Amino acid sequence: MGRDVRELRSGWTRYQRHTFHSPSPALAPWVERYWEVRWDYAEPYRQKIVPYPNVHLSFGGGRADVNGVCSGYQTKVLAGRGHVFGVAFRPGCFRLFLGASVSTITDRVVPASEVFGPDLPARPDVPTVEGFLLRHLPEDDPRARQAVASVELIARDKTVTRVEALAGELGLSVRGLQRLFAEHVGIGPKWVIRRYRLHEVTARMAAGGAIEWAALAADLGYADQGHFIRDFKGMFGEQPTWYAQRY
């Protein structure tokens, strides 16, 4: 099967521009980053989006949406010129904005007005959205802080490859950890561990050079290369050797 040459060897960077902004100190406990993407395609392009466990508030196409955590990759068709501004919330903190279990919006997109009310920024940029979010900050919650710290530990510590080990590190039962993640992160700890460990794979792809797949699978805690390939394909929609051609 042929493939769009615009996705090979980072060819998409000729047609897209991505910009990231850090939040103010007051919002840093809640917001991981602001992001913007602009594109200009004469011919429609199928953009693959591989998720992290962030909930996003996005502004684009004349609408504002809350995007729950996606359990798998998505494909969006980009055509013509377009622009989206977004807020990536820290994994674990959005329940306090939502007022309900974050798992209720997993794999869903809901109008932002249902969460934040109708008074949304008309022309979103960092200062405007910062002011808006500061007016909507919820009260602190120790369970939310525990959920945020749990995801940060997974992201930071490459040796975390098992739910049981993570639960023991946090002083929780496996079931307690699963409940914490369902309520505050929106997706299970096993998925989050797998996502951050597979990030190691794409980081090595981006760095270039040969990859010894069996050794890499073992480094990431997989019993064999077959399990690793199956997980990678489930998350990214492609075999790792095929996906590597994007870099």
Domains and CATH numbers, the chain: 5-135 (no CATH), 142-246 (1.10.10.60)
Asked if 102 and 95 touch (Cβ cutoff 8 Å), the reply is: yes
Taking the complete model, does pTM exceed 0.85, yes or no?
A: yes
Residue whose structure tokens are 């797949």: 213
For residue 26, the model assigns a pLDDT of 95
Contacts for 66 with CB less than 8 Å, ≥ 6 apart: 55, 56, 57, 98, 105, 109, 110, 111, 112, 114, 115, 116
Band of pLDDT at residue 2, cut at 50, 70 and 90: low
The stretch 159-186 carries a mean pLDDT of 96
In the predicted model, is pLDDT for residue 41 greater than 70?
yes
83-108 pLDDT, tens digit per residue, is: 999 999 999 999 999 999 999 999 99
106-139 pLDDT, tens digit per residue, is: 999 999 999 999 999 988 999 999 999 999 999 9
How far is the CA of 69 from the CAs of 38, 92, 106, 149, 155, in angstroms? 22, 11, 5, 18, 16
The stretch 2-23 carries a mean pLDDT of 91
28-39 pLDDT, tens digit per residue, is: 999 999 999 999
Q: Report the distance separating Cα 105 and Cα 46, nearest Å.
A: 25
% of the chain surpassing 90 pLDDT: 86
44-67 pLDDT, tens digit per residue, is: 999 999 999 999 999 999 999 999
For residue 40, the model assigns a pLDDT of 97
Asked if 120 and 133 touch (Cβ cutoff 8 Å), the reply is: no
178-214 pLDDT, tens digit per residue, is: 999 999 999 999 999 999 999 989 998 988 878 999 9
Which tokens is 216 given? 């890499």
For residue 247, the model assigns a pLDDT of 86
For residue 131, the model assigns a pLDDT of 96
In the predicted model, is pLDDT for residue 163 greater than 70?
yes
Q: Report the distance separating Cα 94 and Cα 102, nearest Å.
A: 7
Which tokens is 94 given? 């959005």
Contacts for 197 with CB less than 8 Å, ≥ 6 apart: 158, 161, 220, 221
For residue 177, the model assigns a pLDDT of 98
Asked if 214 and 83 touch (Cβ cutoff 8 Å), the reply is: no
Band of pLDDT at residue 9, cut at 50, 70 and 90: confident
